[in-house]
């Protein structure tokens, strides 16, 4: 099967590695635009992943049988709609269905209609409304940008001034003020063909920039899977009360959800609640979930894209513990450091049970030699597996300690609690 994957981050590199690991030939995978690490595994092509016409023309000219859309931007741009109209199988929801991620107020409306458990929220278009909602819910304050914000649209704080400053930054696009929910968080992915859903393995990510959940929210600084502390029947409960009702409600609206439904969940003392939905694989959870996947990924995604998940068996995962640790550039997430050399990659990759997924990397010529360099905030992910979390952590941090990137930082507490 000839596959075109859209995207350029560690999520897309993890998808490539999973495709290769579960039976897809490198010759059958193209990535647009990719990055320096992805280009060492498969061929990358120079097309704009957010241009519906350009992507569709390329897919048709190159006999692409399945397009996998990695990030959210092409979904919101309508790339999947153009591909489907041209008869190309695509794993990624329509522009309308992708509003589940693109608009938090739309997601709340869907959850209300489908009776999906979630926290109380107030939509606000003015700062006066924001202040009123903050007073009603009380501290800690949860302020969310309604639209896409690259994982940086949410603030949870007891600092009223900081909450108002965050709201003011995004108020033009609309704000949601929500009640604060307390409890452990879980990321659970479902494959959907518009009618049926299949769960993948649960994971937990780490959103704060620094150890002990300190610092600002980020796109994610690490993750682990499986979650040994989950109650029995948890995945089945989420499928029954969250995933299926949401997919059915979108179908009723004429927006069948075909792709990856990311359920961001929290286990409160009042029961399960949905924090957010995303319309694509999450980063960095994808790195650990797909590292454990045994079932051929291409077949699963093609079944979802072609409406035949009902004939697919539940995906199988290894019993290994998997963790990923993100290496971030200096200043992330508040500022962007200049491009800098990444050193000792080969030494890090030589550590047992390690794979490295590139995110913001490219090749530059420095002093007449080609050199791997960083190009953004989250630079790469070190992914490790082990017989248990103690082993997986030992491998991951051994590899991370070998890497050198001036000014960079990473969390040292990923999966620490489950490794004790």
Give me the CATH number covering residue 406: 3.90.600.10
Candidates 110, 328, 315; CA nearest to 211 is 328
Question: Are 200 and 190 in contact, with CB atoms under 8 Å apart?
Answer: yes
Task: Give the N- to C-terminal CA distance of the chain in Å, as an integer.
Answer: 43
Give me the CATH number covering residue 42: 3.40.50.20
- Domain contains 108: no
Candidates 366, 225, 232; CA nearest to 292 is 225
Local structure of residue 39 (DSSP, 8 states): G
166 and 211 in a common domain: no
The tokens describing 48, both together, are 């704009």
- Domain contains 102: no
Q: Where does a domain end: 150, 178, 206?
A: 178
What are the pLDDT tens digits along the chain (420 aa)?
999 999 999 999 999 999 999 999 999 999 999 999 999 999 999 999 999 999 999 999 999 999 999 999 999 899 999 999 999 999 999 999 999 998 888 999 999 999 999 999 999 999 999 999 999 999 999 999 887 766 568 888 999 999 999 999 999 989 999 999 999 999 999 999 999 999 999 999 999 999 999 998 899 999 999 999 999 999 999 999 999 999 999 999 999 999 999 999 999 999 999 999 999 999 999 999 999 999 999 999 999 999 999 999 899 999 999 999 999 999 999 998 999 999 999 999 999 999 999 999 999 998 899 999 999 899 999 999 999 999 999 999 999 999 999 999 999 999 999 998
| Domain range enclosing 50 | 3-91
Structural domains of the chain, count: 4
Please give the pLDDT value at position 154.
86
Helix, strand or coil, per DSSP, at residue 18: helix
Write the DSSP assignment of 77-137 as a string of letters. TTHHHHHHHTT--EES--TTTTHHHH-HHHHHHHHHHHT--B--EEEESSHHHHHHHHHHH
- Domain contains 143: yes
64 and 174 in a common domain: no
- Domain contains 146: yes
Question: How far apart are alpha carbons 389 and 420 in whole angstroms?
Answer: 9
Please give the pLDDT value at position 152.
67
199 and 158 in a common domain: no
189 and 172 in a common domain: no
408 and 359 in a common domain: yes
Q: Where does a domain end: 178, 203, 220?
A: 178
Positions of E strands within 353-412: 354-358, 361-366, 369-374, 378-386
223 and 141 in a common domain: no
**Phi and psi, residue 76, nearest 5°:** -65, -30
- Domain contains 97: no
328 and 218 in a common domain: no
143 and 78 in a common domain: no
| 178-200 burial: b if 16+ Cβ within 10 Å, else e | bbebeeeebbbbbbbbbebbbbb
290 and 191 in a common domain: yes
The number of residues in the chain equals 420
Q: Where does a domain end: 311, 329, 346?
A: 311
Candidates 187, 212, 151; CA nearest to 359 is 151
The tokens describing 19, both together, are 């495709």
- Domain contains 99: no
Please give the pLDDT value at position 102.
86
71 and 7 in a common domain: yes
Give me the CATH number covering residue 129: 3.30.1490.20
130 and 59 in a common domain: no
- Domain contains 228: yes
Residue 135 CB burial class (10 angstroms; 0-12, 13-18, ≥19): exposed
DSSP H stretches of helix in 146-296: 160-170, 234-238, 244-252, 285-291
Candidates 162, 130, 134; CA nearest to 146 is 130
- Domain contains 110: no
304 and 204 in a common domain: yes
Give me the CATH number covering residue 202: 3.30.470.20
Q: pTM of the prediction? A: 0.94
């Amino acid at each position: 099967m000839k596959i075109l994957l859209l995207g350029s981050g560690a999520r897309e590199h993890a998808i490539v590695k999973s495709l290769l690991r579960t039976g897809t030939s490198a010759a059958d995978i193209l990535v647009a635009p990719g990055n320096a690490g992805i280009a060492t595994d498969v061929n990358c092509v120079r097309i704009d992943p957010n241009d519906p016409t350009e992507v569709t023309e390329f897919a048709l000219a190159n006999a692409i049988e399945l397009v996998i859309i990695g990030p959210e931007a092409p979904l919101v741009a309508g790339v999947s709609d153009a591909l489907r109209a041209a008869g190309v199988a695509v794993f990624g929801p329509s522009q309308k269905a992708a509003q589940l991620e693109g608009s938090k107020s739309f997601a709340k409306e869907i959850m209300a209609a489908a009776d999906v458990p979630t926290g109380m929220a107030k939509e606000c278009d003015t700062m006066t409304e924001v202040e009123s909602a903050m007073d009603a819910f009380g501290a800690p304050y949860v302020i969310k940008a309604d639209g896409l914000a690259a994982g940086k649209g949410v603030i949870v704080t007891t600092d009223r001034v900081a909450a108002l400053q965050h709201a003011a930054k995004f108020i033009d696009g609309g704000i949601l003020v929500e009640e604060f929910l307390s409890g452990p968080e879980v990321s659970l992915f479902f494959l959907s063909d518009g009618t049926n859903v299949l769960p993948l393995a649960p994971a937990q990510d780490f959103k704060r920039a620094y150890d002990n959940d300190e610092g600002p929210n980020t796109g994610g600084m690490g993750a682990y899977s499986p979650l040994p502390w989950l109650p029995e029947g948890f995945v089945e409960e989420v499928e029954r009360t969250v995933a299926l009702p949401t997919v059915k409600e979108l179908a009723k609206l004429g927006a069948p959800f075909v792709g990856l439904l990311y359920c961001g969940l929290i286990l409160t003392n009042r029961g399960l609640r949905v924090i957010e939905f995303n319309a694509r694989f999450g980063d960095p959870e994808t790195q650990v979930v797909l590292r454990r996947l045994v079932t051929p990924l291409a077949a699963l995604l093609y079944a979802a894209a072609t409406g035949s998940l009902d004939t697919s068996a539940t995906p199988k995962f290894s019993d290994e513990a998997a963790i990923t640790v993100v290496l971030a550039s200096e200043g992330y997430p508040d500022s962007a450091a200049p491009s800098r050399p990444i050193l000792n990659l080969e030494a890090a990759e030589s550590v047992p049970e390690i794979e490295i997924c590139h995110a913001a990397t490219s090749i530059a010529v420095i002093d007449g030699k080609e050199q791997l360099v960083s190009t953004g905030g989250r630079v790469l992910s070190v992914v490790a597996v082990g017989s248990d979390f103690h082993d997986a952590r030992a491998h991951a941090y051994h590899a991370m300690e070998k890497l050198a990137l001036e000014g960079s930082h990473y969390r040292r507490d990923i999966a620490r609690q489950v490794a004790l």
